Amino acid sequence: MDDFWSGVGVDLHLETDDGEGRRVGLERALRDAVRDGRLAPGTRLPATRRLATELGVSRGTAKAAYDQLVAEGYLTARQGSGTQVAELPRAETETPSTAAHARTPRFDLRPGSPDVGAFPAAAWLRALRRAIATAPLPAYDYGDPRGRVELRTALSGYLGRARGVIAPPERIVITSGYVQGLALLTRVLEGGEIAMEDPGLAFHREVVRRNGGSVVAARVDERGVRAEELGDCRAAVVTPAHQYPTGVTLHPERRRALTDWARARGGLIVEDDYDGEFRYDRQPVGALQGMAPGQVVYLGTASKTLGPALRLGWMVLPPHLVDAVADVKLHSDHHTESIGQLALAELIDSHAYDRHVRACRLRYRRRRDQLLDRLGGRRNVRGIAAGLHALVEVADEAEVLERAEAEGLALGRLGDHWHTPDETHPQGLVVGYGTPRERVYPEALTVLEKVLESADPAR
């Protein structure tokens, strides 16, 4: 019996009630499991001999139960394919509503995501194979909360040469993305006022609040965040390379003012470098962290370069914060999964990551140029020097978005990003050009042109 339970087969958990007989109890248990969705359509069931042995019934009882449920349409049985759960008709109450269909746009020009269809699957598989082939045994065990040393070392070199970040491996902590890094840091700061750009991403403000921080608005203008408004805040979260959502690059004078504020007040700058690799008019602007590594926490991620599904991000910390952040990480999730870290390290060390980023930079620049060709001659399109989105000024966001929804076009709204609603705020569309696939992008721009001309004719 012990050998049987450790053998190879299909596990099937059933709770049978033998009050009306074993066959009836088995039928009811199987029927309920199919109805409840615990046995999904297409699931292959154990052979009658194995099921009988597992449940301690005769094979005849198991076969009779299967035959009855095949007759009722709950199961199917075909020669050579075994017994499987049938596809049941969808109940009336489960039919997707028209509203649900309406929420899936034909064309998605919302900001925030890259073209996941460009994920370098072949290069990733090669890196994964090499990483697994050479991984030491401890890589499969619990690990350092700071992350695998292979990835921290690879990132140290890459961030130094590509982003101008001073990043010794011992000051890097690997995270499951930017959001986790921001949450960990907020918890280490133990509350207090944290300045966040206005406008900025509302979700990130909520992350800070839910982890004990108090959010203070820091206005952004055409030169970036205004450092003189930071006051006695404990930290300031900024996007210097390409502000989200306005798209401005932090002016050199503002960079100096920001680092001066941090040194004078003992404040901390949190640099969100979410799409810093994608600059189109010149060499990418170096990270702010290189100017003041003792006052800046640098947060980067693979979400925009490779894809959000990988859940790989990194923090480069001032020396005095490393142990505290690592401790909070340890008690949060122990450590980020290791195999993906090893694969990314291999991708960086082989320079396949650089090649992929350069290819993406060319792809997104072509898309940016197409957007400008369609709209730039008639409208004010801002934030075009870098990144994966642009800001298109309009007179009435609500009307444009209503017409866009009717055309199956999804867009971002500048009004969603202000800390507090105010009719005096500028209005605009945050248009992302990373998400659409290459073949549908031109059509999406055509629909965007149509919507803008009908709802907000260019003057």
Query: Is residue 433 within 8 Å of residue 109, measured between CB atoms?
Result: yes
Q: Quick one: tokens of 451?
A: 């919507």
Tell me: pLDDT of 398 over 50.
yes
Tell me: pLDDT of 92 over 60.
no
Residue 166's contacts (CB-CB under 8 Å, 6 or more residues apart) are 160, 289, 290, 293, 316
Q: Of 408, 405, 411, 409, which is closest to residue 392 (Cα–Cα)?
A: 411
**Residue 98's pLDDT band (cuts 50, 70, 90):** very low
Looking up tokens 């020669």, which residue turns up?
79
Tell which wins on pLDDT, 298 or 33: 298
**d(C-alpha 278, C-alpha 243), whole Å:** 13
**Residue 306's pLDDT band (cuts 50, 70, 90):** very high
Q: Which domains does the chain have, with CATH numbers?
A: 15-85 (1.10.10.10), 107-116+358-455 (3.90.1150.10), 119-354 (3.40.640.10)
Query: Is residue 115 within 8 Å of residue 306, measured between CB atoms?
Result: no
DSSP 413-437: EGGGGSSS--TTS--EEEEE-SSS-
Q: Is 229 helix (H, G, I), strand (E, B) or coil?
A: helix
pLDDT value, residue 276: 84
pLDDT value, residue 458: 62
pLDDT value, residue 282: 75
Query: Is residue 154 within 8 Å of residue 180, measured between CB atoms?
Result: no
Averaged pLDDT for residues 27-49: 89
Q: Is 301 helix (H, G, I), strand (E, B) or coil?
A: strand
**Residue 72's pLDDT band (cuts 50, 70, 90):** confident
Tell me: pLDDT of 2 over 50.
no
Averaged pLDDT for residues 273-280: 88
pLDDT value, residue 165: 96
